[in-house]
Amino acid sequence: METVSENRCFGGVQGVYRHASAVCGCDMTFGLFMPPQAASGPVPLLWYLSGLTCTHENAMTKAAAQGWAAEAGLALCFPDTSPRGADIADDAAYDLGQGAGFYVDATQTPWAPHFNMWSYVTEELPRALDAAFPVDPERQAIMGHSMGGHGALTVAMNHPGRFASVSAFAPISHPVASDWGRKQFTAYLGADEGTWTRHDATLLMQAGGFDGPVLIDQGSEDQFLDLLRPGDLAQAMAARVQDGQFRIQKGYDHSYWFMQSFMEDHIAFHAEALGL
């Protein structure tokens, strides 16, 4: 584990670290905020999965989450959104390739050797954090934005019992019915749509939902509403009678200004679910 940087932040430490990833076949970088309470022992861990084009740095510097996490006593992990490097497959489009891993394990050429973000965020990186930092693997929650909201919801629903809560800002809610999904799933997973369903939050909600509380915030002025398809997930939550809230925030768009405006709510939501 290589320390790229560490800075004092709200009484804790905001770090950036790099490590060799076996599942992605390259070095991976992530951000980790450790609150001041970590000086006394392991603390609960909240995952933040970012959206298209982001690195580990975007939410780390723009989401205004650390202050609320320090108050609650939560560690925050900001993984990257894809493998990166000159020898790693990429695409000219912003929504495929590097910066657009979609939190799946690719099975198709040329993506399969490196694009294994599902295994990275659900298996390899959690083990690395547990080995190197005072985080409590038995007390976890997960959240994300856009592509990362899709990732947070699908990871949570595919791992019952692991996460106390899940939340999302403007998630890609029904990717099998959207160009933000069909394009990427075809490229990464192939044409067999049966392999896509475990990566679709609406279908997972219809099939079984989440075994804890859910919080979704969606801006009414989001410029990507046709690609996100929030209504599909809202209907599935209502039909499932899912424990949680789906909130439409009037006037807000898809930006980090939206996330900053409601980050306190999301941190408090996860802190309560984790018993803090």
Mean pLDDT of the 28-32 span = 98
pTM, full prediction: 0.96
Total domains in the chain come to 1
CA 90 from chain centre, in angstroms, equals 21
Half-sphere exposure of 149 (CA within 13 A, CB side): 25
CA 211 – CA 146 distance, rounded (Å): 22
State pLDDT tens for residues 91-124.
999 999 999 999 999 999 999 999 999 999 999 9
SS3 121: helix
Look at residue 47 in the predicted model and tell me its pLDDT. Answer: 98
List the CATH number of the domain containing 242. 3.40.50.1820
Look at residue 269 in the predicted model and tell me its pLDDT. Answer: 98
Look at residue 181 in the predicted model and tell me its pLDDT. Answer: 96
Residue bearing tokens 């079984």: 208
Is 46 in contact with 75 (CB distance < 8 Å)?
yes
* Confidence category of residue 75, pLDDT binned at 50, 70, 90: very high
State pLDDT tens for residues 166-220.
999 999 999 999 999 999 999 999 999 999 999 999 999 999 999 999 999 999 9
Catalytic residues: 146, 222, 254
Look at residue 27 in the predicted model and tell me its pLDDT. Answer: 98
**Rounded mean pLDDT of the chain?**
97
DSSP assignments along 189-235, one per residue: H-S-GGGTGGG-HHHHHHHT--SS-EEEEEETT-TTHHHH-HHHHHH
CA 57 – CA 60 distance, rounded (Å): 5
State pLDDT tens for residues 160-171.
999 999 999 999
Contact residues for 256 (Cβ-Cβ < 8 A; gap 6+): 58, 59, 62, 63
SS3 130: helix
Domain of 9 in residue numbering reads as: 2-274
CA 185 – CA 21 distance, rounded (Å): 23
Mean pLDDT of the 59-71 span = 97
